[in-house]
Structures are given as structure tokens and as C-alpha cells.
Amino acid sequence: MVCALVLLSGALSCDAHAQPVARSAKAASAASNSVATDTRRRSRDAPFSFRGVALGITIDEFRAGSSVRATPVGSVPICETDVQAGALGMRLKSHDSLSVACRWAHRDDERWAVSQAVVDGTPALEHVMRFTRIDGQGALRLYEMSFVIDEPTAEDLRDALEDRYGPPRLATRNAAAPGAMPMYVWENAVSSITLCFLPGSRNGTLTYLLKGSDAWMKAVVRQWQASGADAG
């Protein structure tokens, strides 16, 4: 009987100790879920951002910001007329262009060299940030960020994006089909993130895009063609 009482007492003591631990674990889990839910709720209302560089910022904010996400250290934004605008006849390297492309760059042996954007801790193969005058007026604003990354980085990034934003709105995974291009799309009210695996190389393309940008670019083209201007 004494042994039974001792065992019962020990069991009750363990149970009493376990209950606060269980409650603490449940509270921690609830807090974690709350943070994740809050992050996703905020992401529905604001443009997506790449490591602190947010879609919709002005080109002046981009140049002045400290969020240089590229290697080597000391890289800075270098901007010129976007090739899309160049095709319309705008002079390259103009600061007054209706459409501007920026890349991070650094000084190398007394010359400028393109830097590598760092995506998911890995140097990207290519990158570009595109700005235009939204609605054809006002400041140049960031409407697109594009990166080319290798396959392992793209796979890790796909999982990271799903953890942060939830399941993609669109997911095509038919990688076995000839010429297939698996694609994943996350979106909110004002922007989207698209991750594609290219056939052949299997490199990934990562694109952050403001919604409505196609319409803005068409308006830019119409504005340029109608103006008859000879300078970009």
C-alpha cells in the first residue's frame, strides 16, 4: 500500500508538472501560428518585397536605401534606360527615360562590373530591377524585379516562399513532360511572385511584379510614340 501511495503521488506530481509544460507548448504554438497568420495578412495588403526592397518604391528611394542585396560588398545601383525603352528610340543611359533598368555593380580594376544579387544566400546568375512612371506620370517606381538562379536555390526558395506566404495560387509541377516548365505563383491584391524552372538548364527565374504593370508599360509606349520626342 505504501508503494502504491508513493507511485500515485509521483504520478500526480509528474502530471502536475506536465500540465504547465503542455500549456506552455500550446501557447508557443498558438503564438507562432498567430505570427504566421499576421505575416500572411500583411502580405495581402502590401506589395511583395525582395529582402527589404519593396515593389512600388521610387528610384530615388532605391538608390538612397541601404538594402544592397548583392555581392561583392560595396556594390551600388547603376541605372540606365531600359532596353524596352531603348527599342523605342530613347537614348541609353538617360536619367529622364520613361522606363529605367537598374543592376547592382561594383568597381573592378578601375572599371564597373555587374555584381551578383544574393537570392536565398546564393549569388544569382542574373538580375534586373525595372522602374517606370506608373500611369505615365510622377516618379519612376519599381514595378519588376527579376532574377535567374540555379536549380537547388530555386527549389529551396520554393519551399521558403510556401512557408512564408502559404501554398501558391498556381502550381504546375509536370516536370517529366518534354519541354515542361514547372511554375509557381504567389499573389496578393497588388503584386505577384512567379518562380519558373526553365527546361533544359533547369535554372529558375524569380520575378516580383506589380499588378497592372503591363498596362502601364503600354501607356508608356503610347506616350512616347505620341510625343515625337527625340531624347530619352
Amino acid at 205: T
Q: How far apart are CA 144 and CA 139, in angstroms?
A: 15
Q: How far apart are CA 24 and CA 41, in angstroms?
A: 25
Nine cell digits for residue 23: 500549456
What average pLDDT score do residues 189-208 get?
A: 93
What average pLDDT score do residues 180-200 get?
A: 92
Among 180, 85, 174, CA closest to 130: 85
**pLDDT of amino acid 61:** 93
- With contact defined as beta carbons under 8 Å apart, do 188 and 43 qualify? yes
Q: Which residue has better confidence, 172 or 125?
A: 125
- With contact defined as beta carbons under 8 Å apart, do 102 and 60 qualify? no
Nine cell digits for residue 184: 509557381
**pLDDT of amino acid 12:** 40
Nearest 10 degrees: CA dihedral of 201, 156, 145, 183?
A: 60
Contacts of 131 (CB under 8 A, 6+ apart): 58, 59, 62, 79, 82, 99, 100, 101, 102, 140, 141, 142, 143
- ∠ CA 195-70-165, nearest 5°, is 35
The answer on pLDDT for 10 being more than 60 is no
Contacts of 66 (CB under 8 A, 6+ apart): none
Q: How far apart are CA 225 and CA 188, in angstroms?
A: 33
Q: Is the dihedral of CA 14, 19, 20, 25 positive or negative?
A: positive
pLDDT tens track for 89-117: 666 666 667 788 999 999 988 888 999 99
The answer on pLDDT for 1 being more than 50 is no
Residue 22 pLDDT level (bands cut at 50, 70, 90):
low
DSSP type of residue 139 = S
Residue 45 pLDDT level (bands cut at 50, 70, 90):
confident
